[in-house]
């Protein structure tokens, strides 16, 4: 029996994993995140299953190894929360490289349409029997230019959706897709020419704060910025400033730089301690969702399936086809 400790478990995570509890796999669920304080819980487990905001730092990795854990199974695609350099040669790390790129791409378009057509405002108004239209003016997506940064699985699906709306697509990726039927342009052109910019690249040293004071200044006035990738891609204070000066027309964020302190938790009734997040959320042209883009039943089923396969394959024959490692980057 392979014993797996699942951290940061929410009600919607359980059913998918529970369906694999059986003769060879045993998932035990912990609501707490994996941290230096909770790593002690992993004693006696063969593997840990973690999500985007679990802390898989060098210290936590050492604690896992001391407790006999052999595998870190990420149930997400991103791995910026794992100290891969420290893990190298000590413990293996696997991930779910794709669970539903459609879920994330569709959520990105949902955010754009909601923001652009003021659906979130209209919904509240009509519930209050206020049927006025003042302040709800949007613009047509048809004919507008969307700049997509990162043309991997999600970026390319988002491009297909945008084309369905009759938008002009330009893209930037240092590793262009070979059979692309859309034009690649330098990053400066994405900033200069796009009415809407959507981020679909991973968070790396190179992409951290790719949206910053300088790049925002180089954008078209009134640009819409969409981020369903990782919070660290945007310098949040620079974004807030851009919103205040009207340089940025709207921001749709499913991720936030300091999200691990707040996202997936209920802080209603509390005083929000993050001034930048509070100010962003208070803006009429900013929509924040709580790292929700992946959350479809299809994606959850795929996450559980691939994670179970990753774990079984590793413990049965030592192979890790979905491995992430420092030297593989």
Q: Which residues are near ligand NAI by CB under 6 A?
A: 77-78, 98, 101, 104, 149-155, 172-175, 200-202, 204, 206-207, 228-230, 254-255, 291, 293-294
3-state SS class at 302: helix
Q: What are all long-range contacts of 157-162, with beta carbons under 8 Å and residues at least 24 apart?
A: 157/101, 157/102, 157/105, 158/105, 158/108, 158/109, 158/198, 158/200, 160/105, 161/105, 161/106, 161/109, 162/109
Q: In whole angstroms, what is the distance from residue 313 CA to residue 25 CA? A: 12
Single out the catalytic residue among 33, 118, 200, 291.
291
Q: Which is nearer to ligand NAI, 98 or 119 (by Cβ)? A: 98
Residue 75 has φ and ψ, to the nearest 5°, of: -100, 45
Answer yes or no: 14 catalytic. Answer: no
Q: Which is nearer to ligand NAI, 69 or 155 (by Cβ)? A: 155
Answer yes or no: 156 catalytic. Answer: no
Minimum Å distance from CB 151 to ligand NAI?
A: 5
Q: Which is nearer to ligand NAI, 167 or 255 (by Cβ)? A: 255
Single out the catalytic residue among 230, 237, 258, 323.
230
Q: In whole angstroms, what is the distance from residue 294 CA to residue 103 CA? A: 5
Q: DSSP alpha helices (H): ranges in the chain?
A: 14-18, 58-66, 84-87, 101-116, 119-127, 153-164, 187-193, 213-217, 236-244, 275-282, 297-317
Minimum Å distance from CB 127 to ligand NAI?
A: 28
Single out the catalytic residue among 237, 259, 316, 323.
259
Minimum Å distance from CB 53 to ligand NAI?
A: 12
In the bound state, the residue with its beta carbon closest to ligand NAI is 152
Q: Which is nearer to ligand NAI, 79 or 315 (by Cβ)? A: 79
Q: Which is nearer to ligand NAI, 29 or 177 (by Cβ)? A: 177
Answer yes or no: 120 catalytic. Answer: no
Segment (H or E) for 250? strand 248-253
Minimum Å distance from CB 135 to ligand NAI?
A: 29
Q: Hey, CA dihedral for 147, 151, 155, 157, is it positive or negative?
A: positive
Minimum Å distance from CB 3 to ligand NAI?
A: 27
**Which residues are known catalytic residues?**
230, 259, 291
């Amino acid at each position: 029996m392979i014993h797996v400790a699942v951290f940061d478990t929410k009600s919607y995570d359980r059913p998918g994993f529970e369906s694999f509890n059986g003769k060879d796999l045993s998932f035990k669920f912990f609501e707490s995140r994996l941290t230096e304080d909770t790593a002690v819980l992993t004693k006696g487990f063969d593997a840990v299953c973690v999500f985007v905001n679990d802390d898989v730092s060098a210290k936590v990795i050492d604690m896992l190894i001391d407790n006999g854990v052999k595998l870190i199974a990420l149930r997400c695609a991103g791995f910026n929360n794992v100290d891969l350099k420290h893990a190298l040669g000590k413990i293996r790390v696997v991930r779910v490289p794709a669970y539903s790129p459609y879920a994330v791409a569709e959520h990105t378009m949902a955010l754009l349409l909601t923001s652009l057509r003021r659906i979130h405002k209209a919904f509240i108004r009509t519930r209050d029997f206020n049927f006025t239209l003042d302040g709800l003016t949007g613009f047509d997506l048809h004919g507008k230019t969307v700049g997509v940064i990162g043309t991997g699985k999600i970026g390319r699906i988002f491009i297909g959706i945008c084309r369905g709306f009759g938008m002009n697509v330009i893209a930037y990726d240092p590793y262009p897709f070979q059979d692309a039927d859309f034009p690649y342009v330098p990053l400066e052109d994405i900033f200069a020419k796009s009415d809407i910019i959507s981020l679909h690249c991973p968070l790396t040293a190179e992409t951290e704060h790719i949206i910053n004071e300088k790049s925002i200044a180089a954008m078209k006035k009134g640009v819409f910025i969409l981020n369903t990738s990782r919070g660290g891609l945007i310098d949040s204070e620079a974004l807030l400033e851009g919103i205040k000066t009207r340089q940025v027309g709207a921001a749709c964020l499913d991720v936030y730089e300091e999200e691990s302190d707040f996202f997936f938790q209920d802080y209603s009734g509390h005083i929000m301690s993050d001034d930048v997040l509070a100010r962003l959320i208070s803006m009429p042209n900013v929509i924040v969702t709580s790292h929700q883009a992946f959350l479809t039943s299809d994606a959850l089923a795929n996450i559980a399936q691939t994670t179970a396969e990753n774990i079984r394959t590793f413990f049965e024959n030592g192979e890790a086809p979905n491995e992430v490692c420092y030297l593989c980057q």
